Structure 1
Amino acid sequence: MSTELYQKVTPDHLRRDAFLYVRQSSLRQVFENTESTKRQYALRERAVSLGWPIERVHVIDSDLGLSGASAEHRDGFQQLVSELAIGHAGIVLGLEVSRLARNNADWHRLIELAALTHTLILDEDGVYDPAYFNDRLLLGLKGTMSEAELHVLNARLQGGMRNKARRGELELPLPIGLAYHPNGSVVLDPDQQIHASLRLLFDTYRQTHSASMVVRRFRREGWVFPRRIRRGIGKGEVQWGGLNTSRVLQILHNPRYAGAFVYGRTRIGRKADLTSTQLKVAQSDWQVLIRGAHVGYIDCDEFERNQVTLR
């Protein structure tokens, strides 16, 4: 990144605006790692020292609390790319590459746009001109290292979770009817109405061997079934309503009701539009299955018989 070859900040750059991109990966980091956020905002002074008036240094911080692993759902990053594409940006500022992108595809798209529009990129180490080969090479290397760092961090996190899961100690969200005791063990829900509803469901299936017959009996008798709100308003509360076949099948296929600890029943996949989705994993491919890990509404033998009947 030699400044002897040419002066990087030119009058053409100064005629355009400066854009400072600020990001933290999670809301916890936003509240706890305040020093990092302050350092990012302080880059405005770097832009001023290079010749940009403070009123033309625009801060994009709408992505605070969002991961940089993908540009998806990062409106701030999309805004930055748009400003680059239409030639409004003379320089893009970010504390480090990982603040702008943890994904090489997103990072290289930003570099290519910056090269095409003759936009500079500034981080804590210096100023880069992506139109200049050596600078573009260094920026690409930094992006690769940033993506690799995220991979290593995720591998460590997943490794720790798998180790706890192998011991049956990983605390996972429990289905309705099961709850965590203060000592960490899994127990039947102390709410007797919830308890009784699950017993009725399993007893009815044991008699009829049909999920649709379970639904018909609940409707005929006017029985309601509980559902725990997982997110949003009222999170953690229990709602009562009608029972449908998909709900019955979901419960009958869940081994936790048989007292088994399971890890790896689903995996993350990608749709055609690259959005993420959950995919079911065959029982033979579950990463962890510990039978008799806690109390259940049925035993493991009955659970296996139910799977055969359902198939």
Structure 2
Amino acid sequence: MSDKIRVQHLDRKAVLYVRQSSAYQVSHNLESQKLQYAMQDRLRQLGWKEIEVIDEDLGCSAAGTETRTGFERMVAEVCLGRVGAVAAREVSRFARNSREWQRLVEVCRVVDTVLIDQETVYAPRLSNDRLLLGLKGSLNEYELDLLRQRSLEARREKARRGELVIIAPVGYRKTEDQRLEKVPDLRVQEAIGSVFRQFLAIGSVRQTLLWFLEHDLLLPACTPRGEIHWKRPSYGTIHQILTNPAYGGAYAYGKTECTVHYEAGEPRKRDRRKPRDQWLSLIPNAHDGYVDWDEFERIQRAIRANVRMGAHAGAPKNGEALATGLLRCRRCASKLTVHYTGSRHDALRYSCHRAWLDKGLPRCIAFGGTRVDAAIAQAVLRVVQPAAIEAAIVAREEEAHKHDEALTALQRDLQAARYNAHRAQKQYDTADPENRLVADELERRWNDALLRVEELESRIEQRSHVSGQIPPVQPDEFNDLAAALELIWPQADARLKKRIVRTLIHEVVVDLDDATSEIVLVIHWKGGVHTEIRVPRRRRGQCATQTSPEAIDAVRLLARICPDLVIASMLNRNGLRTGRGNFWTQERVTALRSHHRIPVYSSERRAAEGWINLTEASALIGVSPKTLRLAVERGEIAAEHPLSLGPWIFSRDSLNTRAVNEFVARTRARRTYPTIPPAQQGSLDLSTT
């Protein structure tokens, strides 16, 4: 027995601390565990009868980045004066950082507790032992850093050569020579390839996800054991596939780094994605990719451009503003922002206030966006119209290809489902029928597999029917598309229009010309050409959505023969609306007349000016209304018809002409009469027969 162990030490219990640094060591380094637990025999030889083993920290590192409950409990027991000795196989098991090691030594010195390892006994109250313990603590910390540095350098050198593959992403498997190769499952390969094809066609990660969800298609995923299972895709799944360089055929290592920060005194690890120029290794064309490297780079640029930051306009959204993210202020070089107002948030306004927000400077410019968007749309249509036929043919082909893509994916799922059903049937056939506990479960699995097959067959049949309804592309069908493009543009989807605009326009530099009250737009096209457009500014109080000229002209003509209430009903019957899309009322017609200075209806004025309708005109000249209407349609008699479902308007003076008199004479001359007057015609009475 050592002379450092006294009676007061033996009267208290001894604590044996057992620890290994990782779960792998706990599972495989079993000999180390046996040696640590064998320290109980040494404690008994030294005279302790009560021994407590603390092994809660098996699998925890002692570097100071993890909370060790066993170590904390041991220190608490020492502080309470209940422990006479703390023991470990090596003192490095206690701690490999100075903070926890010095705390343990100091606590043991205060309460007079000895430390015991395989070699000797340490009494912290002795200056020589305390010095020795301090050196051992520093050596333990240095040894851990040295081992970590050596293993990390070896790992980095292997990664620089492209020979370090930790985990193979979905769709790949790791070979014996530390390379990546595609999995032989064609269903997995085609599913991952469809992700890239759809993004190249759509141009948005979220829209690609929505396409998969719309067609109810599954994507492969890996279990912790490396097995493939199929699940409903999420945004993270699609984004990870599109941004992983491995799918572009490149080997990449060092894309992330782990940082440690402290919250409430506790260390927390956090992973951070590093920029590409800080990656440890990036080797293009290291293995067979699902897309080539150049195409993968184009995908990354498209994803970055979808983020609205800096010079990027961001992904097209559903807002009606056509030039969002493209307008740049000429005065301060800041991007303009869009604001939606109105009861339906359909009135848009562009403004530049970054200088005011960031530097407190006066606001630059602001203006209504409806006319600006219309001017930009007209400029784009003038550029696009010559290629409208070709673009329409390509769009039709892409639409048919999308249907074929979904149909092909469903056919792959059906083939896999039939295999699973056949496998479930074989398992059921080989089971003992008398063992109902097993047979019932296998039968249920077989039925579920058959239901899955039936569901996929039904979906494929529906998809084939829809694909069969899409006619083949005929170039003759698009001959008139260029002329009708301006009519199609207002009904097109907002995101589609924005994608077309951003494909053609780099940015638009905008300024206000106060002298002429105009908005000056300088369009910078992608090809390097610049175009200047001047748009008149909307005056204060002027509505951006004005009533159509057709409705104004109709009110001006109908006010000759109809009151405002009748005019409102006629406008509504013909499908005309106000500038804000409302139905017409008597008050709104009155306001329109007042704004455009149209005289109100008056029966005296109508009689004085000689305005009459079709019925009155036909009675005046003595012909039927139908005959008169046909004559007007042939151009023989002058009349006005402002609305298709409305009255005809005649002037009395226009009916007192020689042409009208000749028309009436011809009409009466063409009338036919019976040969015998009706009074002289007999009747056939057969009552006497």
TM-score (norm 2): 0.41
**Counterpart position of 1:215:** 209
The letter for the 2-side match of 1:269 is: T
Contact 1:71 1:101 in 2 (8 A): no
1:140 and 2:130 correspond: no
**Matched ranges for 1:27-66 at <5 A:** 28-30=24-26, 33-53=29-49, 56-66=50-60
Larger RCO, structures 1/2 (Cα 8 Å, 6+ apart):
1
Give the 3 Å change call, closer, same or farther, for CA 165–110 of structure 1 in structure 2: same
**Matched ranges for 1:94-109 at <5 A:** 94-109=88-103
Computing the radius of gyration from Cα coordinates, the structure with the larger value is: 2
1:265 and 2:255 correspond: yes
1:125 and 2:110 correspond: no
Give the count of matched residue pairs.
Answer: 300
**Matched ranges for 1:78-227 at <5 A:** 78-182=72-176, 184-227=178-221
Give the 3 Å change call, closer, same or farther, for CA 80–173 of structure 1 in structure 2: same
1:278 to 271, 274, 279: 271
Percent sequence identity is: 39
CA shift for structure 1 position 181 = 3.7
CA shift for structure 1 position 195 = 1.1
**Aligned Cα RMSD in Å?**
2.1
1:300 to 293, 305, 312: 293
Contact 1:68 1:100 in 2 (8 A): yes
The letter for the 2-side match of 1:303 is: F
1:246 and 2:240 correspond: no
Question: Which structure 2 segments of 5+ residues have no match?
Answer: 305-689
CA shift for structure 1 position 10 = 2.5
- Deviation per CA, 1:65-111: give whole Å up to 9, x if none: 44332372533323322222322211001121212222222212211
**C-alpha distance in structure 2 between counterparts of 1:71 and 1:246, whole Å:** 29
Contact 2:209 2:233 in 1 (8 A): yes
CA shift for structure 1 position 277 = 2.0
- Deviation per CA, 1:130-189: give whole Å up to 9, x if none: 233332221111011011111111111111111111111112211111112455432112
Give the 3 Å change call, closer, same or farther, for CA 188–105 of structure 1 in structure 2: same
Contact 1:13 1:91 in 2 (8 A): yes
The letter for the 2-side match of 1:127 is: V
**C-alpha distance in structure 2 between counterparts of 1:103 and 1:183, whole Å:** 38
Question: Which structure 1 segments of 5+ residues have no match?
Answer: none
Give the 3 Å change call, closer, same or farther, for CA 33–208 of structure 1 in structure 2: closer
**C-alpha distance in structure 2 between counterparts of 1:59 and 1:309, whole Å:** 59
Contact 1:258 1:300 in 2 (8 A): yes
**Matched ranges for 1:9-24 at <5 A:** 9-24=5-20
CA shift for structure 1 position 222 = 0.9
- Secondary structure (helix, strand or coil) at the match of 1:272 reads strand
The letter for the 1-side match of 2:256 is: T
TM-score (norm 1): 0.88
Contact 1:62 1:76 in 2 (8 A): yes
Give the 3 Å change call, closer, same or farther, for CA 240–271 of structure 1 in structure 2: farther
**C-alpha distance in structure 2 between counterparts of 1:246 and 1:239, whole Å:** 17
**C-alpha distance in structure 2 between counterparts of 1:44 and 1:251, whole Å:** 53
The letter for the 2-side match of 1:292 is: N
The letter for the 2-side match of 1:286 is: W
